[in-house]
Structure 1
Amino acid sequence: MPEWIEIIVRSTILLLVLFMLSKGFGKKKLSQLTVFQFMLMIVIGGIVAMSVINPNIPIAYGFIALAVWFIIPFAAEFIALKSKRFRDVTKGKGTVLIQNGKIMEDNLKKERVTTDDLLSRLRSNNVFTAADVEFAVMEPTGDVNVLPKKENQPVTPKMLGTKVSPSKEPQTVIMDGKMLLEPLANASLNPNWLETELEKMNVSIENVFLGQVDSDGQLTVDLFDDQLSVPTPTEKPLLLATLKKCQADLEMFALETENKETKVLYQKNSERLQQAINKITPYLN
């Protein structure tokens, strides 16, 4: 067999093996790898390269080397899942850089982090003044997570005592101009509903690049043609406006009628409807 063909065969085989081995290390980004894991990937890449380029090395030796460099780290990962002490040794622990608003200079020196590096990491977390930080920790991956002081944290609906509607995962029901039945069923909807909604928008499904349904059952679409605009969903605003109109009509009827019993009935129902509107308004805005 010519050497160039052997190199192609070796490359293909080892590429598949390397792909399967990479699955065993879990779904981690390169930035999330520890020093040991990063070194491991370099060594495995070197083994694969040597086994591919040098035909004098039996490919079985490459498999043996890969097995050793995979099994031992995989066993270490398994032990780390069971033992925190072992995990702290192999993966390291987080280092506090700022605590109670005070910069820990000794920890900065320990992690070889300069003041400029610290300020850069804070800016990447949208914090521009060290005094605004309550707590900052450097993770074993090198990432710095920051907790701003209470007065510098973004305002949330919970802080304001405002109720908001719960949201669920949006379901992608159209992709590349084709209907996806499973996500549609997950949203408790059917193809007839989807076709009706598209008719309201005057859009053909073949022209839809992406269509999603939110937790409120509203359909939003993105078309292949970026020059065309699609109306935004109006079901919730229309429902709220209709309820307010009904409440206003009840108040008007109460003012216009001369019958006392009817007036009381209109006023009572108007108040009940207003209470209902107050409760559902956060969910319809």
Structure 2
Amino acid sequence: MNHWMEVVLRSVLILLGLFFITKLLGKKQLSKLSFFEYIVGITIGDIAGTISMDVDLQASHGVVAILVWASFLIFVSNVSLKSISFRKAVEGTTTILIKEGKILEGNVKKEKYTVDELMEQLRKKDIFYVEDVAFAMLETNGELSVLLKKEKQNVTREDLLIKGEATRLPQTIIMDGNIMKEAVHELGYSVAWVKEQLKKKGAAADKVFLGQADSAGHLYLDYYED
């Protein structure tokens, strides 16, 4: 077989294989990939490109390498879905960079962020004054999420009907059926309060996929079986 024909054949087969692996991994956007998923994706792509172009390498060895990397990624993804602590260890946690208009320099340095980069991300969200920000959090995928102070937010129907409250960061207090004690205490509540709220709604913590609450006592629940 001519070399160029072998390159074409290898490329087509590898492309089909990568498409199948991508389908197994789900529909997560590239910008939403975790640091670990990003590294594995680059490695698999590099292996695939090498196998396609270098006809002196045995294609079977490259396929085995791709399958090993992909299998490991699928294994990590499945374990992450079931274990919160494992997910935090692999993907990390969000980091607050700005709180109540104050830049948290220690967190900014820890994430290897510069002030210029932080301001650039704020400007992309049409925010030009740090003092307007209630919370700015660096997500695990590197994206910056920003919550403006109450007086800087757009007016809603609710604002016109009731007196505004001081802005507090909502917390995820139930995740994968587990009550997040640290988040509950952050809001000034207790685990007993959470259980009482669940009782009023006729729900059990282990039936809740995601639960969020704020300082006003509003509780949102998303169940495994909706």
* TM-score between both structures, scaled by the size of structure 1: 0.54
Match of 1:6 in 2: 6
- Asked if the contact 1:10/1:51 (under 8 Å) is kept, the reply is yes
- Structure ID, larger Rg: 1
1:95 aligns with 2:92: no
Alpha-carbon offset, residue 17 of structure 1: 0.4
1:53 aligns with 2:53: yes
CA deviation profile, 1:131-183 (whole Å, cap 9, x unmatched): 1111110001111111111111101123224xxxxxxxxxxxxxxxxxxxxxx
1:84 aligns with 2:84: yes
Match of 1:108 in 2: 108
Alpha-carbon offset, residue 68 of structure 1: 0.1
Moved more, 116-125 or 27-36: 27-36
Match of 2:137 in 1: 137
Match of 2:23 in 1: 23
| Greater helix content | 1
Rounded to whole Å, the distance in 2 between the matches of 1:58 and 1:110 is 44
Counterpart residue type for residue 36 of structure 2: F
Task: Within 5 Å, give how 1:231-242 maps onto structure 2.
Answer: none
Alpha-carbon offset, residue 118 of structure 1: 1.4
- Asked if the contact 2:101/2:132 (under 8 Å) is kept, the reply is yes
1:63 aligns with 2:54: no
Rounded to whole Å, the distance in 1 between the matches of 2:124 and 2:54 is 45
- Asked if the contact 1:125/1:145 (under 8 Å) is kept, the reply is no
Rounded to whole Å, the distance in 2 between the matches of 1:16 and 1:144 is 35
Rounded to whole Å, the distance in 2 between the matches of 1:136 and 1:42 is 29
Query: CA RMSD of the aligned region, Å?
Result: 1.6
Rounded to whole Å, the distance in 1 between the matches of 2:50 and 2:116 is 41
Rounded to whole Å, the distance in 2 between the matches of 1:3 and 1:121 is 48
Task: Within 5 Å, give how 1:139-218 maps onto structure 2.
Answer: 139-161=139-161
Alpha-carbon offset, residue 100 of structure 1: 2.6
Alpha-carbon offset, residue 107 of structure 1: 0.4
Counterpart residue type for residue 77 of structure 1: S
Alpha-carbon offset, residue 77 of structure 1: 0.5
Alpha-carbon offset, residue 31 of structure 1: 2.1
Match of 1:186 in 2: none
Unaligned runs of 5+ in 2: 162-226
Give secondary structure in 2 for the equivalent of 1:56: coil
Aligned length: 162
Match of 1:172 in 2: none
- Asked if the contact 2:100/2:131 (under 8 Å) is kept, the reply is no
1:75 aligns with 2:70: no
Give secondary structure in 2 for the equivalent of 1:160: helix
> Comparing both chains, which one has the higher relative contact order based on Cα–Cα distances under 8 Å and sequence gaps of 6 or more?
2
Question: Deviation above 4 Å: which 4+ runs of structure 1?
Answer: none
Counterpart residue type for residue 79 of structure 2: I
CA deviation profile, 1:28-73 (whole Å, cap 9, x unmatched): 2222222222211111111112211222322222221111010011
* TM-score between both structures, scaled by the size of structure 2: 0.68
Rounded to whole Å, the distance in 2 between the matches of 1:47 and 1:121 is 34
Give me the identity figure in percent.
Answer: 39
